[in-house]
Chain A
Amino acid sequence: MEQAELHNFLTRYFTANQCNIIQDKDGMITVQLTEQLDEQLMNRPFYWNYVKRVGGRGMPMKVTFITNPAKKEEEGEWIHFGSPRLHQMFHTLKQTGKITRQYESKTGNTNQTSLIPWLILNVSVHYQGVQKRNELLSLGINLINGAILPTFMDRIQTISFSPIIHDYCFTLTPIIRTTSALNRLERYIQNDIHSQDDAWVQEAHQTYKEEKELLDYFFQLDTHSNATDECTEEERLVKERYKSELATLQERLLPTISTEVINTGMLYISQQTTSQLLQQ
């Protein structure tokens, strides 16, 4: 994240969390935290615990965050992509931004408008071999006709949503049930995975094979040594160690693919916008 991008992120983050932005200029932003955000970000559990116990009202902090490198030395907290505070924010977002229900809001429209239910699923696919990478999939499925659109977040970026349905709008009842929709998305993800280059899978298997051969060789002579009574305990230990080494080897090298849901929700989008989305 570039510093400017970071600044934009901070502004939106504090706005989304109903914090009062006192000042915002030259890559410095001063905010009055809410009680909730203070508790989540400022690492002072003892203070909040105390306040709650005596039944008083806490004083959430006012903080300045700096993203402009030229202002680093000024009073406030320097925020960059690695700073723990930023990662705390990331963490709170991960917790709080999981599920939503939104309705497309069309101001000034007095005609009766029907809204089509879409299920949105943002998911991260983890590919783990010798190394690990992950990829984000943003999928939307139309619960009336079953159409699935990839890069869904990007497509709906310009649509304005509201948590409350507009007076002149009504929602259509889904034809496809959520469970079935999730099954279809699951198949979509699997197909996507199968279409990927699998050189890394071969590499992981090859590396695993090589390292396992070394391991087998290293332990082979030891395990075949004379089985006298004193040896048994030692042999048992050696076997145990082999097992444990092999287990970590498998965990470290054998390829796995897994998915992790980032967030999901129901989006109700007008017929007109839906047609536009499908034509894109």
Chain B
Amino acid sequence: MTNDIQLHVSLDHDLTNKISDDSLFCSWNTFQLAYETANQLAIPAFKGLQSPQHLPQVSFLPHQIACAQKVIEHMNGRAILADEVGLGKTIEAGLILKEYMIRGLVKKVLILAPASLVNQWVVEMNEKFYIPASAQRKSPIWDYDVVVSSIDTAKRPPHKDVILNTEYDMVIIDEAHKLKNHKTKNYQFVQELTKKYCLLLTATPVQNHLLDIFNLVSILKPGHLGNYEDFTQRFGNNRNKLSNDDHLKALVNKVMVRNRREETGVEWTKRIVETVDIDFTQAERDAYNFLLDIANSPMAFTNITLLRELCSSREACFLSIQNMLKREELHDERANQLKQMVTYIEKMPHHAKAQKVVELISKSNEKFIIFTEYRATQYYLQWLLQQHGISSVPFRGGFKRSKKDWMKQLFQHHAQVLIATEAGGEGINLQFCNNIINYDLPWNPMRLEQRIGRIHRFGQTEDVHIYNFAIRNTIEDHVLTLLYDKIRLFERVVGNLDDILQKLEINDVETELHHIYKQSSSIGEAKIKLNNLSSVIASAQEQEDKDGTSGAS
């Protein structure tokens, strides 16, 4: 045994006194049991995982176990967990954390997650891993051993000082790609944390710039990729380098685990996509046509909005018009047109689309999630469903965390339908439901991916049905058939559209679509431009699929 080791073998000589203190004595049985307990909890080997035998109620997938073992044995507990979406990064992180806790190496833990995911982390750590994690809410609980907090809460006073003065045994950061920019406050905050072990979770370790990965690795293991100057000099900032440069790939793979779906053999349930075409009733068509007529070409933003709203519900459109009439200084002519539009709306019967929803849902006993863009439509649908004896709960991004959880509970146990106006970002998971109705379509395809991601994820056991509602020969019909269908938005399980759009430097599809309609002198022209846009995206997708990588592989 070498001498360069810290050896603490001094026995507590206070034992001498204790041994003669009658009041401390325990029975022989208890003494034996205490020894046996210690024996049971002893960890005889440096290698191998203890955690699975502590968690017999969870069945882990082979790649999750392998990941935990690799991170602990080869990466010394500092790693980027970069599995593709839905392979269970949280589970891997939980396994690793549990292992370190069992081995007595970790006690004090900080988990930073997006606000919408905080509760989910708490539940998962407690229920799956028996790790007593608590959520940071208003009153500080930083003396708890395992705390889950959003980064925004954590970096605000008075929490900030407490956290920065705590020595954490482990820090876990979910959605770590948000830290890619080293100039942000969040990045600096995370960098300043004192952390022995650290896990960064992200499905997209490199989003657009190669420096993203440099910044992430520098949190974990400063110097592993050299310093900033070396790195930029040697590799530049081309994200493709990560798949092309073997040296860089090897280095990154020393601190990153990335499982791909096809390698893990995890079977995904199918996505069954169905477009539900609906025809306007005559009164509705008249209203739509009138709106088209008064929409000067090129179309103004407000007119596009009104058209989209009319495809959703009378209420949504009516509300907008009311607001315009109230707030804006309009030309008399415009005001008259809008007032005339109101008379059209008044003549409209129940919305054809809404009735189709009722028809679809009442045929089934299964649960449905309806997504709509408009609050007014949400109210209308809830009322209409109730008229037909269908129970539903509302869901909005603006709900408080506790209310969201409550609505999820209600939906899971009592109601048949959840009507959501927003995917709620990376919000709640609703795997217990396998039907989605896209009642109207957002013009931001990322939001569609998120919508579907709520139910089509790890843990979904049924095939997922996606119903896309569109009214024939309307603006929403164009976007669905000419754009979303062409880029196979609904079928692609790998959600890498974000990467592709960023590569194409399309920052915002919605703006792009507005441009198209604004700058076209006819619907025909707009359709051609839509087609072009889809072709560009589709070919970029093909290229991406051929490369087969969006990070190191």
Contacts and interface: CB of A to CB of B under 8 A. Distances in A.
B277 interface: no
Q: Which of A97, A162, A251, A256 has most chain B Cβ within 10 Å?
A: A97
Given A214-B222, A215-B222, A132 B26 contact: no
Interface residues of A, number: 92
A90 B41 contact: yes
B227 A222 contact: yes
A179 B13 contact: yes
B223 A217 contact: yes
Contacts of A265: 19, 25, 31
A84 B133 CA distance: 13
A267 to B, nearest CB: 9
Given A133-B45, A182-B11, A245-B222, A255 B5 contact: yes
Contact of B46 (A93, A136, A200, A253): A200
Contact of A98 (B4, B34, B55): B34
Contacts of A222: 227
Contacts of A1: 40
B239 interface: no
Contact of A179 (B16, B37, B196): B16
B46 A217 contact: no
Interface residues of B, number: 70
A126 B224 contact: no
Contact of B227 (A138, A163, A201, A217): A217
Interface in B315-347: none
Contacts of B192: 241
B76 A207 contact: yes
A16 B1 contact: no
Contacts of B56: 80-82
A136 B41 CA distance: 10
Interface in A104-129: 119, 121-124, 126-129
Interface in B1-58: 1-2, 4-13, 15-16, 18-19, 21-22, 24-47, 53-57
A221 B73 contact: no
Q: Which of B4, B33, B45, B195 has most chain A Cβ within 10 Å?
A: B33
Contacts of A272: none
Interface stretch (A21-29, A31-39, A55-63, A187-195): A187-195
A8 B6 CA distance: 40
B130 interface: yes
A190 B7 CA distance: 9
A128 B34 CA distance: 23
A127 B7 CA distance: 10
B120 interface: no
B35 A218 contact: no
A52 interface: no
A30 B388 CA distance: 50
A264 B19 contact: yes
Contacts of A101: 19, 22, 25
Interface in A82-97: 82-84, 87, 90, 93-94, 96-97
Contacts of B30: 16-17, 93, 96-97, 100
A77 B56 CA distance: 15
A136 to B, nearest CB: 5
Given A138-B35, A218-B222, A261-B15, A132 B43 contact: yes
Contact of A133 (B21, B39, B44): B44
Nearest to B195: A248
B218 interface: yes
Nearest to A190: B9
A75 interface: no
B46 A84 contact: no
B16 A198 contact: no
Contacts of A190: 7, 9
Contact of A100 (B12, B31, B39, B227): B31
A217 B222 CA distance: 9
B226 interface: yes
B7 A131 contact: no
Contact of A135 (B24, B26, B37, B44): B44
Given A130-B76, A131-B72, A131-B103, A182 B16 contact: yes
Contacts of A119: 19
Nearest to B7: A257
A68 interface: no
B488 interface: no
B303 interface: no
A162 B27 CA distance: 8
A168 interface: no
Contacts of B7: 190, 193, 256-258
Nearest to B130: A84
B24 A99 contact: yes
Contacts of A162: 28
B33 A9 contact: yes
A93 B222 contact: no
A97 B25 contact: no
Interface string B237-260: 000000000000000000000000
Given A16-B33, A94-B37, A222-B227, A248 B44 contact: no
Contacts of B33: 9, 12-13, 16, 93, 97
A88 to B, nearest CB: 11
Contacts of B42: 124, 134-136
A134 B21 CA distance: 29
B122 to A, nearest CB: 15
A122 B24 CA distance: 17
Interface in B183-203: 191-192, 194-197
Given A186-B10, A264-B15, 20 more contacts: A9-B33, A15-B29, A81-B53, A98-B34, A131-B72, A132-B103, A133-B103, A134-B104, A153-B35, A178-B19, A182-B13, A201-B5, A214-B222, A218-B223, A221-B229, A257-B6, A259-B8, A262-B38, A265-B19, A265-B31
Question: Lowest 8 CB-CB distances: which A-B pairs, in order?
Answer: A97-B34, A218-B223, A214-B223, A82-B54, A16-B29, A131-B46, A258-B8, A218-B222
18 contacts: A15-B29, A81-B53, A99-B21, A100-B31, A119-B19, A136-B39, A136-B42, A185-B11, A193-B1, A201-B1, A201-B5, A214-B222, A217-B226, A219-B223, A257-B6, A257-B8, A258-B8, A264-B19
Interface of A: 1, 9, 12-13, 15-17, 80-84, 87, 90, 93-94, 96-102, 119, 121-124, 126-136, 138, 153, 161-163, 178-179, 182, 185-186, 189-190, 193-196, 198, 200-202, 205, 207, 211, 213-222, 241, 244-245, 247-248, 251-259, 261-266
